[in-house]
Amino acid sequence: MTAQTTTPASTATQLPFAKAINAGLDAALAGDPKVLLMGEDIGPLGGVFRVTDGLQATYGEDRVVDTPLAESGIIGTAIGLALRGYRPVCEIQFDGFIFPGFDQITTQLAKMHYRSSGRLTVPVVIRVPYGGGIGAVEHHSESPEVLFAHTPGLRVVSPGSPQDAFVMIQEAIASPDPVLFFEPKGRYWEKGAVDLSTGPYASGGTSAQAPAEADAFDTLNKAVVARPGTDLTLVAYGATVATALKVAASAASEGTSIEVIDLRSISPLDTTTVVESVRRTHRCVVVHEAPTFLGSGAEIAARVTEQCFYELEAPVLRVGGFHTPYPVAKIEHEYLPGLDRVLDAVDRALAF
């Protein structure tokens, strides 16, 4: 694998994250009659974050389905539909609500392909608004991605820009594998350039062509260099990509050149792009909102250390959440890896 830089075309439209995902879902629904959406309040309301706004009016109640409050039932139904040839996309209203469906995901959805010796595919996408920064109450700001990344058989991805959100949701739907699609809800309203002609469905793919067309984009497998640099590698994904870019801009004003890697996918993990970057910069800091204890940063730090031991000039550092329940809204800024905490880690790595 090699690093890529996503560059929207000059005809790109400025869209917020949520609208980019909406446009990607729209493209998939239009391109494949077997695609359907399921979730609580996703119909006339358009979901609590309005990500599915207007889609039921366009595609009808049979393809954009309002479901009861029953996450295990939603995912179990999606598994059955996928085995009958559909491509269901489930919306979990908030990250902390995914746990009632945890058993369906990890013991059924993840293992069906292996259990059938490869004869069955289960192309289910589970969209999960995750992470903090919106001042929400308990069970509304968690980052459980590593719980699913630890389970073989699941793809676990999180876009870091509106352009990637638009393409990656199409790729997730086109994928024959089950995909956990973690959406950084704190970034839903941030705008970015989106080329609406890209992606396996938006570029003209049909139900039969889309999986093959997805190979042309491959954003589910490859990390991207979001900003080149020479002094230190900052690894992030999803919500923390924007934070990492702000850190790099701030450090640049003081003469430090930071390379930002947007992982895009936590499982599979594109170690090659990270290692290539660290071999150029010789220092590495990993940033994520989930607790650092046994988190994705621990895996990345171990892999970088194993493969770059003689090139490293400082230990790999991690900045993330603490090993506590997500705090109340008034102090969540202390929990989240903000600009100052990440810059402190950068300074410690550079001074080592």
> Which alpha helices (H) appear in the chain, and where do they start and end?
17-31, 55-59, 71-83, 102-103, 112-115, 145-149, 162-174, 210-214, 239-252, 271-281, 296-308, 332-335, 339-351
β-pairing verdict for 13-16 and 191-194: antiparallel
| Cα 70 versus chain centre, distance | 23
From the candidates 113, 139, 140, 333, give the one annotated as an active-site residue. Answer: 140
> Which alpha helices (H) appear in 97-209, and where do they start and end?
102-103, 112-115, 145-149, 162-174
140 given a catalytic annotation: yes
Give me the residues paired with residue 262 across strands: 224, 236
Q: From CA 237, how far away is CA 254, in angstroms rounded?
A: 24
Only one residue has tokens 């936590």, namely 266
Q: From CA 347, how far away is CA 189, in angstroms rounded?
A: 31
DSSP label at residue 153: T
Nearest Cα to 139, choosing from 182, 181, 94, 180? 94
| CA-to-CA dists, residue 3 to 6, 128, 195, 261, 294, angstroms | 10, 26, 20, 9, 26
Residues that are catalytic? 140
